[in-house]
């Protein structure tokens, strides 16, 4: 079985990418399997916190075992939000997986995340974790930028699939609107736009206005963002 572990910051078309992979005929997806572990470890007062803790195991080793048990003849695609692994979170479970990074301009991420949750510090933490994950996985994991994907979905997905060693499927480009059984219990708060979508939305340049504190949060991860951006896949 092929295991693909996507690492992304929040508000970064990560759920849209999950939809694209789930629409393949050969892929099962797992939505943020370690979210409850992060909530227990951090104590973060996220929206729907209690529902997430009730829906998932909050034990890192138990979740890793569940991922292993869920393997079959299909491709297993994991959507992982990188800041869930801040601190001393174990990462041994990614050994042997095909890791790729989804990135986005930090200013755009901060602006989007702030609309859903006040504390934007996890944006910088996500990039720090992605650097750690990348080093553990060999330092040459494929990288795709969200803006590039939205500008050229087919070209970028073809290039990403080639980098991951899997075939591209045209089915990755569109899907039926609505919820999925695979969506995390947190979907009602976070996934409104994705649930209404039927494909990748066109790229749109937007004017971004941030508070001084939000600008500082974005600036804190610009160096790490550039590290990934400079080696991103181009199509």
Across 36-51, average pLDDT: 94
**CA atoms lying within 13 Å on the CB side of residue 146:** 25
User: Rounded to the nearest 5 degrees, what angle is found at the Cα of 118, between the Cα atoms of 112 and 122?
Assistant: 75
Q: Is this model's pTM higher than 0.75 or not?
A: yes
Please state the rounded mean pLDDT for residues 141-150. Answer: 98
Phi, psi of 207, deg, nearest 5: -80, 125
pLDDT at 227: 97
pLDDT over threshold 90, residue 163: yes
Element of type H or E holding 186? none
Residue 205 has a pLDDT of 85
The reported pLDDT for the residue numbered 41 is 94
Model confidence at 199: pLDDT above 90: yes
* Rounded percentage of the chain residues whose pLDDT exceeds 90: 79
Domain limits, the chain: 2-229
Query: Which CATH architecture is the domain 2-229 placed in?
Result: 3-Layer(aba) Sandwich (3.40)
pLDDT for res 211:
92
- Cα–Cα dist 16/6, whole Å: 12
Please report which confidence band the pLDDT of residue 124 belongs to, taking 50, 70 and 90 as the band edges: confident
């Amino acid at each position: 079985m092929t295991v693909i572990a996507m690492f992304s910051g929040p508000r970064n078309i990560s759920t849209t990418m999950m939809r694209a992979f789930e629409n393949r005929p050969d892929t099962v997806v797992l939505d943020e399997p370690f979210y409850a572990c992060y909530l227990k470890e951090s104590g973060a007062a996220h929206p729907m916190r209690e529902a997430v803790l009730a829906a998932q195991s909050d034990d890192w080793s138990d979740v890793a075992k569940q991922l292993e048990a869920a393997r079959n003849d299909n491709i297993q695609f994991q959507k992982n939000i990188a800041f869930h692994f801040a601190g001393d979170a174990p990462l041994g479970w990614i050994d042997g997986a095909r890791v790729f990074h989804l990135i986005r301009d930090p200013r755009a991420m901060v602006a989007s995340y702030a609309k859903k949750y006040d504390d934007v510090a996890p944006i910088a933490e996500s990039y720090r974790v992605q650097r750690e994950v990348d080093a553990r996985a060999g330092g040459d994991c494929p990288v795709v930028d969200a803006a590039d994907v939205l500008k050229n979905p087919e070209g970028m997905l073809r290039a990403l699939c080639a980098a991951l060693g899997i075939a591209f499927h045209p089915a990755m480009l569109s899907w039926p609107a609505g919820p999925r059984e695979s969506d995390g219990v947190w979907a009602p708060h976070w996934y409104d736009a994705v649930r209404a979508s039927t494909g990748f939305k066109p790229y749109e340049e937007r004017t971004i206005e941030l508070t001084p504190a939000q600008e500082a949060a974005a600036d804190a991860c610009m160096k790490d963002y550039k590290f990934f951006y400079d080696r991103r896949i181009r199509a």
